[in-house]
Structure 1
Amino acid sequence: MTRFIYRYIAHEQELSLCSLEIRQLFGKEASWHQSTAVVESRLDISAQRSPYMKYRLHVWLSAGSYDALLQQAKVLKPKKTYKMVAVETILNGQATRFPYEQRRRMERELGTIVGGNVNLQEPELLLGIIQLEGEWLVGSYEPHHGTWQQYDRKPRHYSTALSTRVARAIVNIAVPQLDSSIRFIDPCCGIGTVLLQAIDQGLHVEGYDINPLAVVGARENMAAFDMKCIIKIADMRLLQETYDVAVLDLPYNHCSVLPESERREMLLALSRIAKRAVIVSVEPIEQELNAIGATILDVGHVQKTHFKRDVWLVQFDREQA
């Protein structure tokens, strides 16, 4: 039976958002122990997708004791060059690194039993060892590399833009199963923070914004990473094409609130152009979503120093929009 172990870590202010991402990616609720969660699943999801995923272990062998694991390891015959990594022990939801001497001893012992071609510098494969609630596991180990963080270095920034980490999680919530044929729109794209994360994951995206300066900034950010997508000046209320999924970060600033009438117009427009959407708001919008016939599929939030952003996952019936 295919079995994957996913280890998550998230700051308290983003636990709710991370839990929402886990529910959409895996279809299950995570059990958090402070900032750590372990998710077991048969779904094959890369450790590089989530900004909160620390690693993934594709379980090849399991045993009730370390000695039994050594005996089972004899059957492993990796064809690729590999490196053995003793990762950590997780007990009662708390993750702890193996002590240094134990870690090195296990890596030597298992490496000796498995044999094959060990390459400590540039292995083609990492084999991980973890102890999970008393069970010993060995398998293909994929640590999170965090290459998505390169987009923090985009040349154009905006004080109220979503963080790179939050933007990546929101893309995962919007599109749990990656498919390059999905049409993805960000109708208030700002400087393109969400667009960068969507393109990075191979999605076909389009961005629009009513602010010409924002569009210029988004294009500059795309060019900085040699990325290309449609980015145009447009009022989302006038868009006519339809899309599979949308992300809408409702505009706001620290000095004024978006008028309720304008927000309703934007939500109505969203319901017309997309069937599924993630909406980010700093104002309560549940009643407005219900009023336009949106089905609220899930909700989370992300806390910032002085305010909270709600993250709504919704579905629209276009025939009623």
Structure 2
Amino acid sequence: MNNTKQKFIYTYVHHINEFDLCRMEMRAFFEKDTLLNHIISEIEIDPSRSPFIQDRLEVYYEGNDLAEIKKQVQAFKPSAKTYKVFCLNKMDLGETKKIPHQERQVIERELGLLIEGEPDLENPEIVLGILQLNDRWYFGKHEKSESIWRHHMHKPRSYSTALNTRMARAIANIAVPHPKGIRVIDPLCGIGTVLVEALSMGINIVGRDINPIVCDGSRENIAYFGLEGNVSKGPISEITEYYDVAIIDLPYNLATHISQEDQFDIIKHARRIADRVVIVTIENIDDKIQEEGFKIIDRCIARKHLFERQILLCV
């Protein structure tokens, strides 16, 4: 393999209303973003973590044309006995137009004939990818994203004002892009939409809510998907432990009788219990956030139909 540094190419698909949220998640993962529907990075992220990533190519070889790739592939020794080759150019990628289906099949077949092992189009042990971006070709290991968040849409307990699962998953990623060694709390967890997404990605998170009914609902949702997580009852003011990250989906007047003073009190306690906080709000509360000693280091508007939420990353 001729790449001296690890390199991954990620392709993206999202609704136009999710553009800003997708880019904020991208910045959390890769410390940069792009207006394009793909990004190249040395950082390895499981593509199934993101609700927006469609494919990931771990680059083994790259070249200026397909002939150069074919020469390199002749020396490739796959780590599995069975394989298939998949061309990722099934849609436009930036200024690179998609390759028609029949042409993609020809490319896949020609590369497949150069690889040792047994081709298996149904259940291969490894999927190898070929991708053209601008005037460059890339070959490597392909992994397709699994829409795990889609399964979580059908939970036993829900309510209409809760975050949708795609948004909740992106927020969990923005809060905790790299989970190793990170302790997280969702102190206003409601029915556990964020908890389910975070737990399904291996994030070490606990939940809490002042309402015993929604605590029960959160526990039921977590158990329904075969996950394990702790949800305690009580207000944020009674939390004594300190966490690396807190995720705060502020209650709002459409769904609760909480006052503005109570909302500000929640922010004050968030500052007390965590180093890093993601705040979800429908109102502009920048002044109050800054009064409590937070610095807003990233932000976006997340839209659900005509309803808008601000996502604020604070330290």
TM norm structure 1: 0.92
Q: Which residue of 1 aligns with 2:298?
A: 298
Equivalent position SS for 2:221: helix
Q: Which residue of 2 aligns with 1:3?
A: 7
For residues 92 and 192 of structure 2, what CA distance do their matches in structure 1 show?
A: 41
Q: Which residue of 2 aligns with 1:168?
A: 169
Equivalent position SS for 2:299: strand
Q: Which residue of 2 aligns with 1:26?
A: 30
Q: Which residue of 2 aligns with 1:75?
A: 75
Q: Which residue of 1 aligns with 2:21?
A: 17
Equivalent position SS for 2:23: helix
The residue type equivalent to 2:20 in the other structure is S
Is the 1:186–1:195 Cα contact (8 Å) retained in structure 2?
yes
The residue type equivalent to 2:10 in the other structure is Y
For residues 258 and 17 of structure 1, what CA distance do their matches in structure 2 show?
A: 27
Cα distance, 1:67 vs structure 2: 2.1
Q: Which residue of 2 aligns with 1:241?
A: 241
Matches within 5 A, 1:118-129: 118-129=119-130
Count of residue pairs brought into register by the alignment:
310
Is 1:277 the counterpart of 2:277? The answer is: yes
The residue type equivalent to 2:174 in the other structure is I
For residues 92 and 190 of structure 1, what CA distance do their matches in structure 2 show?
A: 39
For residues 273 and 304 of structure 1, what CA distance do their matches in structure 2 show?
A: 30
Q: Which residue of 1 aligns with 2:189?
A: 189
| Uncovered stretches (5+) of structure 2, i.e. residues with no partner | none
Q: Which residue of 1 aligns with 2:44?
A: 44
Q: Which residue of 1 aligns with 2:221?
A: 221
Q: Which moved more, 1:231-240 or 1:126-135?
A: 231-240
Cα-Cα RMSD: 1.7
For residues 253 and 161 of structure 1, what CA distance do their matches in structure 2 show?
A: 13
Q: Which residue of 2 aligns with 1:158?
A: 159
Is the 2:91–2:99 Cα contact (8 Å) retained in structure 1?
no
Equivalent position SS for 1:58: strand
For residues 292 and 186 of structure 2, what CA distance do their matches in structure 1 show?
A: 20
Q: Which moved more, 1:217-226 or 1:50-59?
A: 217-226
For residues 118 and 42 of structure 1, what CA distance do their matches in structure 2 show?
A: 29
Is the 1:89–1:132 Cα contact (8 Å) retained in structure 2?
no
| Uncovered stretches (5+) of structure 1, i.e. residues with no partner | 316-321
Q: 1:239 to 1:103 in 2, by over 3 A?
A: same
For residues 160 and 89 of structure 1, what CA distance do their matches in structure 2 show?
A: 36
Matches within 5 A, 1:109-120: 109-120=110-121
Cα distance, 1:115 vs structure 2: 2.8
Report Cα offsets for 1:237-296 as digits up to 9, x if no partner.
222211111101001243777422111101001110111111000011100011111011
For residues 304 and 122 of structure 1, what CA distance do their matches in structure 2 show?
A: 37
Is the 2:90–2:100 Cα contact (8 Å) retained in structure 1?
no
Q: 1:90 to 1:67 in 2, by over 3 A?
A: farther
For residues 96 and 49 of structure 1, what CA distance do their matches in structure 2 show?
A: 27
TM norm structure 2: 0.94
